Structure 1
């Protein structure tokens, strides 16, 4: 096993598991938005430009199943819920995701397609 926790071409390596957390376009955006604190789904829908209701719902379900986001009932009503980062989600948001965002910002020009 190498430093990254993988043997050559093993499908269940640790790097692959980590990359899967950012492989869905909206998942890292939603995790970043939840860094601001517990939030209702409708607020997330307004806060995140370009995400559809269906995609937001799918992403929240996926992130909840992965243990990164927790869903709790909201005091406003039986159908209302609040979403927030779990300790695992917060460590992901403040660690690797923050570093990835910083790297992307520093290298934005190099990453942009040539015009």
Structure 2
């Protein structure tokens, strides 16, 4: 993601620029399942089943896809423990923890203002 999407003489990333790689990250983080999964993992490493129970309404397919994208972009670590049955845990990386706070503020804002929204 080191590509620069400078615009109008700026040498920084510009999420408003059509080809900016920031858009892919924003798309992932603005997704409700990503925001909820990151919030659930703030409590510590989580197994897939625990995440699925916590994120009521998410299908296994969507949760798998969300966790894979979060892992690919460096927000989540996936650890496999040799056991029978296989034990897999998902945990936030430093990058994931750094975005958890602003996403948490957004979730809190939504909960506090939902009654004002038509």
TM-score range, shorter chain: 0.7 to 0.9
TM-score when normalising by structure 1:
0.76
1:33 matched residue in structure 2: 40
Aligned-residue offset at 1:108: 1.7
TM-score when normalising by structure 2 = 0.75
Match of 1:21, SS state, is helix
What's the counterpart of residue 104 of structure 1?
110
Gaps of 5+ in 1: none
Shift of 1:107: 2.5
Q: Residue 28 of structure 2 contacts residue 69 of structure 2 at CA under 8 Å; is this kept in 1?
A: no
Select 2:77's aligned residue among 48, 70, 79: 70
RMSD: 2.5
Matched positions, count: 108
CA–CA distance in 2 between the matches of 1:93 and 1:105?
16
In structure 2, runs of 5+ residues without a counterpart are 1-6
